Chains A and B, each alone.
Chain A
C-alpha cells in the first residue's frame, strides 16, 4: 500500500467527514453517519418494515429519507398493488414527507429534485445508487437488511475504499456518447473489475459531458464493480443544482474534489477520440465491442428505458435518429421515459412527437422491462437491443431471450434498420441536433 499522503481523494474526504474524522486511509474500518437514504418500493418498505418492527425501531430521521415507487408501477396485479399501497402507508406512518410515487426512476428523481449534491454520503436500496456520484456524492447501494439497520441507526460501517481513477481523454467523435464510453470501460476492466473500489472519473474528456451523460457514467460504476462512481463537481454541476433549487458556492465544489495528485490505487486511461459506438453482446456488459465488429443481428425489440438510458438527453438522442424515419416492419420500439419530468420536457420540445411518429410505443416511467418487472418483457428466443445497463441471461424475460446493450443512438438506429445498426450514417452531417448539443455538448 502507498504511504500516507496529505493529498486526499474525493472518496476519502467525504468518508472522513461522514465518519467524523480528520482523515481516513484506504482499508480502515469506519462507521459513517448517513446524510441521505433512498429506498424504493421493491427493496424498501415491504422488506424493511418487518425488520424495523422486530427491532422496535423507527426511522431515525425522516427528513433524511427519500422514498420512490418505481419498480412495481403502475400496479399490474393485486400483489404489485399491495406492495405500492404498503409503500405509501409506511411512508406516511414514518413521517417520510418526500415520497415520489410513480413520478420516475429513483436515481433520476433524486437528481431532478436536487437531493444529491457534492460531498454528501448517500446510501440507497438499489445497486445503481452510484448514479448520484455524477453530482459528487459518495453514494453506495445496499440490501434491505442493511437498509433497515441504517434506518434504525443512521449509521453504516465501511472499509474505506481505494480509488480507481478513470481518465477520459480527448473528445468523442459523432455518434459516440457516454454509454459507449462506459461499455468500452466494461470491456476494458471487466464486469466487477473495479473490485469494490471507489471509481473516480477524471480527465479533460469529462468537461464535454453534460450532467445526464455523467449520470450514465456513474450509473454503470455498478457494472464496473465500483462501490461508487464519482465525477468531480464543476460549473455544470452548479448549473444543474441551481435549476433544482439548490444554491452552492464554488468553494463547496472545490472542497470535495480530489486534491491534485492525490494517490490512487490504479489509473485507467481511455482515449475518447478513438472510440466507436459500442454494443455489448449477451449476456454481459463486459462483452462490449466496437459496432463494426458486431454482426448485424435482426432484432425483435428495441428498448429505450431505465435509469441508465431514458433521461431527456437519451430520448433526444433517439429522436435525432428517428426524426423523419420509421421503425422497421417486424420490429417494435418501446420507450419508457425515466421520469414524469422527462415526459413533460420531451413533450414540450417535440421529442415525444418524433418518437411516436416514427412508431415508438410509449410505456409508463419505471424500472419496467429492464429488470423483467414490468411491461415489455421478452419471449423465448427473442432478441432485444436496449439502452439499459444489464443484459444478464433471462433478466428481461425468458431465459433464452438475448439482449444487446448500446447507446440510445444505436438502439434507435437499430429500430429503424430492424437489425443492429451503426447510428453514425443516421446522424445529419454526423452531428447531433441542437437540444442534445446544449446539454450533452458532444459536438464542437
Chain B
C-alpha cells in the first residue's frame, strides 16, 4: 500500500452505527451478501453507488454500537479504502485498523462536497481537497499501527510475526 491515497469522497453524517453498516438480519450469511445491505437503512442504494477506491467521509462517532467487525469488513468488501471521520467509536476504530481498513480522525473537513476528489496521507495526518487545494489536519496514525494496516491487518501482521518467531526459535 502506498503511503497516500486518492479517491472520491463519499459523505455520511454523525453516529453512523454498526446496525446500519452490518444489519443483524444478514449477519449469519457471507460478508459479500451482508455488504450489499451495508448502510441501506441510511441510503437504500449505498452499496450500488459506492465505487472501489472511494474514501468515506463521516461525522462524529462513526461505527458506534456493536463489536461486529463485519461493519468494517462490509466497507472494505465494497472497495472503500479509508474512512475519515470527525471521531470514531473506539471498537470500530480498532476493528478497521485490525482489518487493514484505514480509519483516520479528522475533526474538520468542512467544505468538501459529495463525490469531490480528496487525497489522504495517513502518515502525515493530512486530507487535501483537490478542487480547492485546501488541506485539513488529521490525527496521524501511529507508525506501529500503520505498519499493521499496511501489512493487511492484525492477522497477516501476526502471521508474519509468528513465522519470524518460529524461524528464530528453530535456529
Contact = CB atoms under 8 A, between A and B. Distances in A.
Interface of A: 29, 42-43, 47, 51, 54-57, 72, 79-80, 83, 124-127, 129, 141-146, 148-149, 152-153, 190-192, 195-196, 223, 225, 227, 284, 371-373, 377, 390, 392-395, 399
Interface of B: 15, 17-20, 23-25, 27-29, 40-42, 60-61, 64-69, 72, 87, 89-91, 93-95, 98-99, 142, 144, 153-155, 158-159, 162
A218 to B, nearest CB: 16
Contacts of B65: 127, 390, 392
B41 A393 contact: yes
B20 A126 contact: no
Contacts, number: 121
A83, A145, A371, A393 pick with most chain B CB within 10 angstroms: A145
A47 B61 CA distance: 25
B155 A51 contact: yes
A392 B20 contact: yes
Nearest to B66: A127
Contact of B99 (A145, A223, A225, A390): A145
B162 A152 contact: yes
B24, B144, B153 pick with most chain A CB within 10 angstroms: B24
A192 B65 CA distance: 9
- Residues of A contacting B: mostly: loop
B92 to A, nearest CB: 8
A55 B90 CA distance: 26
A335 B144 CA distance: 47
B29, B68, B153 pick with most chain A CB within 10 angstroms: B68
A230 to B, nearest CB: 15
A125 B87 CA distance: 22
B69 A225 contact: no
Contacts of B67: 43, 124-127, 129, 141-143
A395 B87 contact: no
A399 B42 CA distance: 9
Contacts of A192: 15, 60-61, 64, 87, 89
A143 B94 CA distance: 8
Given A126-B67, A146-B98, A372-B24, A191 B15 contact: yes
Given A79-B29, A371-B24, A390-B19, A227 B158 contact: no
A143 B155 contact: no
Contact of B27 (A42, A55, A57): A42
A79 B28 contact: yes
B162 A393 contact: no
Nearest to B64: A192
A390 B15 CA distance: 13
